[in-house]
Chain A
Amino acid sequence: MRRQPATARVFRALYSGNARAVIGRGLLATRSSNWMVMVSGFFEPVLYLLSMGLGLGALVGAVEGPAGQEISYAAYIAPALLAVSAMNGAVYDSTWNVFFKMTFAKLYESMLSTSLGPLDVAIGEIFLALLRGALYATGFTAVMMAMGLATSPWALLLIPAAVLIAFGFASLGMGITSFMKTFQQMDWINFVMLPMFLFSATFYPLDVYPQVVQWIIQALPLWHGVELLRQLSVGVFSPATAVHILYYLVMILVGMVLTTRRLRQLFLS
């Protein structure tokens, strides 16, 4: 047998260039499943926005926006809620959903008895997660505009930015799932997500914390997402904008490398 260079060999064993078959399957399954469940995902951040924005906003009044200007509390939290929703959706799809399809539905087992490779499956699933994220982000951005919470035309960039955030979390999430063996271990994922959701300058500015805590939060991904979307929502940019974007590009890269390296552990044995 003719030997090929090592990397090409690894690649051929993992990838058949047919991720679109996995995507096609996902779309067909969505069509036949309960579409209400699909739609309901869009409502969660909207409910948070109504509750916190209207109810709490009435008590809090105006707060300081990204450029030091006064903005309403609803306008302050809306981009943060979009970032959180992008994170939650991507993490759910790349961890729980993948774990369920692997362990219970045995979906990947059947996919991998065809000429598909594990990389086809991973790319297909991540693409589906991002597609869903893009739909939700579009809906939420429309709600923000209708409520007058996004005034700048730059706000349209909230949609691709939310997809960027989702991509970062989905690629990393799938790599992490490859280390999981039981549902009990999966529960720990939620345990890490909760503090990140609450502490990442979602509902109030970071400066209430001592300096050390601020540094820790700034090292975590969600804060960068929240800040990026907050800047986009009012169309105010700073050198930090580039840092936030760069953070996610690196996260996607690291996540994809990790996931690819762990593909055999994830899908094969």
Chain B
Amino acid sequence: MRAAANGQPVISAQDLRKCYGDFAAVDGLSFEVQAGESFGLLGPNGAGKSTTMRMIGGVSQRTSGTLAVMGLDPDDHGPEVRAHLGVVPQQDNLDEELKVRDNLVVYGRYFGLPLSYLRPKADELLEFAQLSDKANAKVDSLSGGMKRRLTIARALINEPRMLLLDEPTTGLDPQARHILWDRLFRLKESGVTLILTTHHMDEAEQLCDRLIVVDKGRIMAEGSPAELIRRYSTREVLELRFGSQRNTTAVDELRGIGDRIEALPDRVLIYARDGEAALEEATLRGLHPVTSLVRRSSLEDVFLRLTGRSLVD
């Protein structure tokens, strides 16, 4: 367990478990999150990320283990814990019956906040989310990116100390994603603790100081993105395509190049410290791939190595 850097961790989970009947959605997670940290949960679908988020907010009761959020047990103090949380769910659940600005104000009322605070705050957040000109529009008329920004703005209405983001940019176009990342980065700078789940590795690399890789409800690895790449992958990756017939036979001839070779149906991956050198070695052995590509190792390589390549649904 990491030593607490600056006093009490804001989240402390020990052996957290959630079962639905015989099925353990979350199976013994232990982690701590420090104030101001940006913490990621990575994992394939069904890994237990969203369930963990719901337990942190006290809307899903854990089966066993201990959990403290800002020193309180969310199962016993749901309302108090959530008073300091901002929640961005996986699917937008904006109030379609209310206009854009009313969505923010009414949501703030759920925290018991006075209108004198909420009116200017709503305008400020619309500005932040670049939605000021949509204040009186219907939610229905917003684009996917706008809805997402509104959902994030809504989660900030109570000036939360901690923001829970469940796949914040899934389904958005690149422009919208970059705008969102920018906004999240500013929040982090202002000291808000971010907890986010994602299966976009670039997002995790952009936003997370530290992350855990979760699969089947268990922690597979923990560390900063750079640490994880160092520990579970090589510096570079060489991707070779020989045509789907030849990939497997080529593997035998490539043996010994790089640290590790992975044969996929459509290509062969060679994990090496120096990708160009590996490519030269392959050419020297008389192999002529249809295409070749040398790239930096990414969190995606770590993720696939830890959670496997087969589909999980």
- A contacting B, Cβ–Cβ less than 8 Å: yes
Instruction: Kindly list chain A residues whose C-beta atoms are within 8 Å of the C-beta of B112.
Output: 16, 18, 21, 115
The segment from B98-106, B171-179, B195-203 found at the interface with A is B98-106
Report the minimum CB–CB distance from B159 to chain A (whole Å): 13
Instruction: Kindly list chain A residues whose C-beta atoms are within 8 Å of the C-beta of B246.
Output: none
| Inter-subunit contact A25/B82 (CB<8 Å) | no
The segment from B86-94, B218-226, B270-278 found at the interface with A is B86-94
Instruction: Kindly list chain A residues whose C-beta atoms are within 8 Å of the C-beta of B89.
Output: 106, 109-110, 113
| Inter-subunit contact A14/B78 (CB<8 Å) | yes
Considering only CB atoms, which chain B residue lies closest to A25 in the complex? B106
Instruction: Kindly list chain B residues whose C-beta atoms are within 8 Å of the C-beta of A28.
Output: 98, 102, 106
Contact of B57 among A12, A22, A113, A267 (CB under 8 A): A113
Report the minimum CB–CB distance from B60 to chain A (whole Å): 5
| Inter-subunit contact B59/A13 (CB<8 Å) | no
| Distance between Cα atoms of A13 and B74 in the complex (Å) | 8
| Inter-subunit contact B61/A115 (CB<8 Å) | no
Considering only CB atoms, which chain B residue lies closest to A15 in the complex? B79
| Inter-subunit contact A114/B60 (CB<8 Å) | no
Which B169-226 residues have a C-beta within 8 angstroms of A?
A: none
| Inter-subunit contact B77/A29 (CB<8 Å) | no
| Contact-residue bracket for chain B | 35 or more
| Inter-subunit contact A25/B95 (CB<8 Å) | yes
Given contacts A113-B57, A264-B61, A268-B61, contact A32 B99 (CB under 8 A): yes
- B23 proximal to A (CB < 8 A): no
| Inter-subunit contact A110/B94 (CB<8 Å) | yes
Which of A24, A25, A33, A107 counts the most chain B CB atoms within 10 A? A25
- B313 proximal to A (CB < 8 A): no
Considering only CB atoms, which chain A residue lies closest to B58 in the complex? A13
Considering only CB atoms, which chain B residue lies closest to A26 in the complex? B97
Considering only CB atoms, which chain A residue lies closest to B73 in the complex? A1
- B96 proximal to A (CB < 8 A): yes
| Distance between Cα atoms of A43 and B297 in the complex (Å) | 69
- B83 proximal to A (CB < 8 A): yes
Instruction: Kindly list chain B residues whose C-beta atoms are within 8 Å of the C-beta of A24.
Output: 106, 109
Report the minimum CB–CB distance from A122 to chain B (whole Å): 14
| Inter-subunit contact A107/B95 (CB<8 Å) | yes
Which B32-59 residues have a C-beta within 8 angstroms of A?
A: 54, 57-59
Report the minimum CB–CB distance from B137 to chain A (whole Å): 12
Instruction: Kindly list chain B residues whose C-beta atoms are within 8 Å of the C-beta of A113.
Output: 57, 59, 82, 85, 87, 89, 155
Considering only CB atoms, which chain B residue lies closest to A4 in the complex? B76
Instruction: Kindly list chain A residues whose C-beta atoms are within 8 Å of the C-beta of B75.
Output: 13
| Distance between Cα atoms of A12 and B98 in the complex (Å) | 29
Instruction: Kindly list chain B residues whose C-beta atoms are within 8 Å of the C-beta of A22.
Output: 110
| Inter-subunit contact A21/B110 (CB<8 Å) | yes
Contact of A105 among B85, B96, B158 (CB under 8 A): B96
Report the minimum CB–CB distance from B117 to chain A (whole Å): 14
Report the minimum CB–CB distance from A148 to chain B (whole Å): 40
Instruction: Kindly list chain A residues whose C-beta atoms are within 8 Å of the C-beta of B97.
Output: 29, 32-33, 105
| Inter-subunit contact B106/A12 (CB<8 Å) | no
Instruction: Kindly list chain B residues whose C-beta atoms are within 8 Å of the C-beta of A105.
Output: 93, 95-97
Given contacts A14-B78, A25-B109, contact A115 B83 (CB under 8 A): yes
Interface mask (A211-254 → B, CB under 8 Å = 1, otherwise 0): 00000000000000000000000000000000000000000000
Which A29-63 residues have a C-beta within 8 angstroms of B?
A: 29, 32-33
Instruction: Kindly list chain A residues whose C-beta atoms are within 8 Å of the C-beta of B59.
Output: 112-113, 267-269
- A173 proximal to B (CB < 8 A): no
What 3 pairs between A and B have smallest CB-CB spacing? A113-B87, A106-B93, A114-B110
| Besides A12-B77, A115-B112, A268-B60, 9 other A-B contacts (C-beta < 8 A) | A12-B76, A32-B97, A105-B97, A106-B89, A107-B95, A112-B59, A113-B85, A116-B79, A268-B61
